[in-house]
Structure 1
């Protein structure tokens, strides 16, 4: 036990002993006071510490955040068994050992069943409060942790996405300048045309590189313009075929993906008039395919691998659909997923910081309201029981407020943890997911 818990239990024990000594003890002597203090400390520390140890043990073995339902069931069973044993032990020590009011046989004969039952209920209320307090503390930690994790994930994903997009600008520029450098020596007139066309293409690169997705139609038009540049340099050594379905033109792909893949085809394959390189761009089963006949070129130095790796990483941040690569002895093919709609954010399904914090704050407020109701119940009901036993011990009217309010507390708890709005939201989400799977969305 922590020092703070020991101090709290000591003050509770002292306050309880003073109350019982002045309210119920007929002979107010030092000896009776010490016995009352001893009995109060016994009840407080055995019941309080016992329930505290059980709660700490369950927190380590079955945390609320990892197994809520399992933890709730184990908690209910364990506190019922433990408190029954602890109460019978404390009452035995009180009435048989300290006060010597009855013998052991009389105690277990059933004479003290009502007192034991009443004390068990008080112990269960205390235990419920301790478990509720533990759950509340873990909920706060989990809520704070989730918000922090969401912030870190969002910042990390956005930074990664921006880094990948920033690769495109210099990558395209350097490759284009290399082509231009080759043309200046081979064909100066073509180099001039290439320079003019490159300025138009580079404008598209600057416009599109900051976008997450572009339409297939825009990407195809840009790719055709880029292919004209390649034809300027390679002439009959390279041929291009485009066959994309009209229904796919209004859908989306990652920007500059085609240009990067076309670059790869030229970079990794040789092309001559006698053995031309044929590059096909076509749609197939919700994918945009770029295929070329395999004429592998010997590389003077190892490729940096920016193009294809960049596309794969950007798709992984935007969707769960994968980029597929097929390679055989005759051809090399890359399949890019065609997306039906633009995702609002990256695929890790994170909310914005404000929404995540607002949702966590609302949830904490609901749970705090429930535990405020529960704590009030745990304080007021014992007071009403004591008041009833003092004023009218022959008529037990405390049952009615205890039962009525208890039903209200249970209903409140179920609305917060089981069948409230959170349960409705989960069910709605489950039904929508099933419908999406059924209709193949």
Structure 2
């Protein structure tokens, strides 16, 4: 327990002692007042510290944020047991030890059952209020923590995606300039045409680099233009075949993925007129494939693998479907998943997350509503009990609102924690399954 909790218990002890001293004590003197403070402090500190230690223990073993339903059930049972024990102890100390109004045998014979029962009810109400207050505090902390975590995740994903996209410009430009540099020496006229075509291609790069996905049709058209540039340089040494199904044209792929894979084909394989490099782009089982015959070029420096790694990482941020790579002695193939929807990087699986968030938000409202009801019960009922005992102690009418409202609180708790929406969802699924079978 914290320091502020002890200060709160001191104020509760003082307020309770003043109330009982001026309302129920016949002889109002210093000794009577000090004795009332002693008794009130005993009840306040024994019950307060006992429930506080219980609450701290349950928070460590069964946190509200992780096991809400289990924690609620364990809290109810443990609160009931611990408060019965503490109340019997406090009443024993009060009536047997301090006031000496009864012996131990008389106390346990049932003479003080009514006093014990009444005190237990008051203790349970106050304890339930404190545990509900703790739940609301934990819920608030958890909500803030989750909001911060989600913001960090979103920022991290966004930064990662931006970093991956920024690799495209220098990578593409570097390779294009290498091609242009070769053409300037080999064929200046072709170099001029290449420069004009490269400007068109680079415009596409600039237009598409900020997009998460582009249509297969756009990517194929861009790839064909890029292949024309490669044919300009390599002529008969490279051959391109496009065999993509028309129905796949409206699906989506990662932008510039084909361009990066075409670059890899040229970079890692040699191509001559006697041994041309055959590159084929085609559809296969929900994927867009690029395949080339394997003619591995000897390289002094090991490849960094930026192009292929870039594609794999960008796909991992957008979908659970993987990029597949097949390699044999004769060919090398990369399979790119084609996607039916166009998600947003920041909100990965937005629809599912939104639905889950709405359900969680509704669940939190239900739990808050129950604890609001419980807190109101814990505040109003003790007030009615005290009012009844002061105004008409011989006619105990507080039982009716306490029992009636108590049954309502229990039913409310059952609907939130025991049955709730799970029961409704199960029933809905059962009815739908029966209708589908018909």
Aligned to 1:187: 187
Could you tell me which residue of structure 2 aligns to residue 223 of structure 1?
Answer: 223
Distance of aligned partners of 1:367 and 1:213 in 2 relative to their CA distance in 1, 3 Å threshold:
same
Give SS of 1:282's match: strand
> Counterparts of 2:417 and 2:235 in 1: how far apart (Å)?
70
Distance 1:427 1:321 in 2: 30
Q: Distance in 1 between matches of 2:158 and 2:52?
A: 44
**Partners in 2 of 1:250 and 1:358 — Cα distance?**
32
Structure 1 partner of 2:176: 176
User: Residues of 1 paired with 2:316 and 2:176: CA distance?
Assistant: 27
The equivalences for 1:247-326 within 5 A come to 247-326=247-326
1:310-337 per-position Cα deviation (integer Å, ceiling 9, x unaligned): 1111111111211111122221111111
> Which residue pairs with 1:82 in the alignment?
82
Residue 160 of structure 1: aligned partner: 160
Q: In structure 1, what is the Cα distance between the partners aligned to 2:146 and 2:196?
A: 52
SS at match of 2:72: helix
User: Is the Cα–Cα contact under 8 Å of residues 318 and 346 in structure 1 kept in the other structure?
Assistant: no
Deviation at 1:339, TM superposition (A): 0.3
- Offset, 1:2: 2.1
Partners of 2:319 and 2:423 lie apart in 1 by: 24
Give the whole-Å Cα distance in 1 for the aligned partners of 2:422 and 2:211: 36
Q: Which residue number corresponds to residue 43 of structure 2?
A: 43
Task: Tell me the distance in 1 between the aligned counterparts of 2:417 and 2:356.
Answer: 19
Residue aligned with 1:17, SS = helix
User: What secondary structure, in the 3-state scheme, does the structure 2 residue paired with 1:278 have?
Assistant: strand
Tell me the distance in 2 between the aligned counterparts of 1:61 and 1:176: 61
Equivalences for residues 420-431 of structure 1 within 5 A: 423=421, 427=425
The equivalences for 1:10-409 within 5 A come to 10-346=10-346, 348-349=348-349, 370-409=370-409
- Asked if the contact 2:69/2:417 (under 8 Å) is kept, the reply is no
1:375: how far off?
2.9
CA contact (8 A) 1:55 1:130 kept: no
CA shift digits 1:94-140 (9 cap, x unpaired):
11111111111111112222221221111111111121111111111
CA contact (8 A) 1:319 1:346 kept: no
1: CA distance, partners of 2:238 / 2:203: 25
Measure how far apart 1:92 and its partner are: 0.9
Cα-Cα RMSD: 3.0
Q: 1:150 touches 1:350 (CA, 8 Å); kept in 2?
A: no
Q: Tell me: CA distance 1:346–1:361, structure 2 relative to 1, closer, same or farther (3 Å).
A: closer
1:139 and 1:194, CA in 2 relative to 1: closer, same or farther beyond 3 A? same
Structure 1, 21-30 or 225-234: larger mean CA deviation: 21-30
- Whole-angstrom CA distance in 1 between matches of 2:233 and 2:367: 69
* CA deviation profile, 1:18-42 (whole Å, cap 9, x unmatched): 2112222223333332222111111
In structure 1, distance between residues paired with 2:330 and 2:77: 68
Matched residue pairs, number? 430
Q: How far did 1:149 drift?
A: 1.5
Displacement of 1:369 in angstroms is: 5.6
Task: Name the CA distance, whole Å, in 2 between partners of 1:424 and 1:349.
Answer: 24
Check the 8 A contact 2:252/2:340 in 1, yes or no: yes
SS in 2 for 1:295: coil
- Kindly tell me: are residues 138 and 342 of structure 1, through their superposed partners in 2, closer, same or farther at Cα, counting changes over 3 Å? same
User: Which SS does the other structure have where 2:292 is aligned?
Assistant: strand
CA distance in 2, matches of 1:137, 1:4: 15
SS state at 1:157 partner: helix
Calculate the TM-score normalised by the size of structure 1. Answer: 0.89
1:60 and 1:287, CA in 2 relative to 1: closer, same or farther beyond 3 A? same
Contact 1:164/1:310 (CA < 8 Å) preserved in 2? yes
Comparing 224-233 with 20-29, greater Cα deviation is found at: 20-29
Q: Whole-Å Cα distance in 1 between the matches of residues 130 and 232 of structure 2?
A: 79
Is the Cα contact below 8 Å between 2:343 and 2:349 reproduced in 1?
no
Query: Which segments of 5 or more consecutive residues in structure 1 lack a partner in the other structure?
Result: none
The offset of 1:240, in angstroms, is 1.4
Q: CA 1:350–1:139 in structure 2 vs 1: closer, same or farther (change >3 Å)?
A: farther
Residue 419 of structure 1: how far off its partner (Å): 6.6
